[in-house]
Chains A and B, each alone.
Chain A
Amino acid sequence: GAVVSQHPSRVICKSGTSVKIECRSLDFQATTMFWYRQFPKKSLMLMATSNEGSKATYEQGVEKDKFLINHASLTLSTLTVTSAHPEDSSFYICSARPGQFNEKLFFGSGTQLSVL
C-alpha cells in the first residue's frame, strides 16, 4: 500500500520559536496533501489542503500566517508553525492520496508538538 512518512514524530520547543513538520509520500506522487490537527481524545480537524505548486487552501478559522504550508514537490509538503505558543500544542497529522481522482487517503504517523 501507499506509504506516507511524517517527521519529526515528536518535538518540544520554546514559546516564540518556529517548528517545521515534513510530510512525504514515499512510493507515489501526491498533487494534493492534507493537514489535520487532533486534540487529546478528540477527532481530527482538517486545517488545510496543500496543493503542489500553488497556495494552500485553509479551512475557516485556521490562521494562514500562523500555519505556513509549502508543497514544493509532488512528494513533499511542509507545515511550519510560526511563533509557536502553548495553545498550538497538539497532534498534527498529514495525509495524501495517490492520483488526482483517487478517493482513498493514507496518513502519516503524526507529530506531537509541545510548546513550553
Chain B
Amino acid sequence: GIQVEQSPPDLILQEGANSTLRCNFSDSVNNLQWFHQNPWGQLINLFYIPSGTKQNGRLSATTVATERYSLLYISSSQTTDSGVYFCAVRAGGTSYGKLTFGQGTILTVHP
C-alpha cells in the first residue's frame, strides 16, 4: 500500500516563529488532507489539498502531486497551535474516503 512519511517527527518552537511541516507519499493520490489533532483528540480539518496551494489565515499548504509531497506552513505560531499535525492521503485506485495517515508531527509552541 501507499506509504506516507511526515517530517520532522517533533518540533519545538517559540511563540511567533514560523515552521514548515512536510509530507511525502509513495504513490499518486486523489485526496490529501492536513489535520490538526488537539490535546483532547479532536481531528480538525485544516486543508483538503490534493494539488496546488491554499491559504487560511496563518496557515498555508502546498501540494506538488507530480513530486509526491505536500508542505504545511505555519506562520507567527501561537501556543494554541500545539498538538499533532497529520497528513492523510487516498491512493489512486482505492475507495473514496479510505485515508492512509502519516505518523504525524508533534508541535509544541512555548510562550
Identify the A interface with B (CB < 8 A). 1, 32, 34, 38, 41-46, 49, 91, 93, 95, 97, 100-107, 109-110, 112
Report yes or no: B96 in contact with A101, Cβ–Cβ below 8 A: yes
A1, A41, A45, A93: the one within 8 Å of B43 (CB): A93
A43 with B101, Cβ < 8 A, contacts A103-B31, A104-B33, A104-B45 known: yes
Given A103-B30, A109-B41, list of 8 further CB < 8 A pairs? A44-B88, A46-B99, A95-B43, A97-B97, A103-B90, A104-B31, A105-B45, A105-B88
Report yes or no: B97 in contact with A43, Cβ–Cβ below 8 A: no
Interface residues on B, range: 20 to 34
Task: Judge whether B83 is part of the interface by a CB distance below 8 angstroms.
Answer: no
Report yes or no: A93 in contact with B41, Cβ–Cβ below 8 A: yes
Task: Judge whether B54 is part of the interface by a CB distance below 8 angstroms.
Answer: no
Report yes or no: A105 in contact with B41, Cβ–Cβ below 8 A: no
Report yes or no: A43 in contact with B103, Cβ–Cβ below 8 A: yes
Report yes or no: A107 in contact with B43, Cβ–Cβ below 8 A: yes
Closest residue on chain B to residue A106 by CB atoms: B45
Measured CA separation A32–B30 after assembly (Å)? 18
Measured CA separation A46–B101 after assembly (Å)? 9
Measured CA separation A45–B99 after assembly (Å)? 9
Measured CA separation A45–B102 after assembly (Å)? 10
Measured CA separation A101–B96 after assembly (Å)? 7
Task: Judge whether B42 is part of the interface by a CB distance below 8 angstroms.
Answer: yes
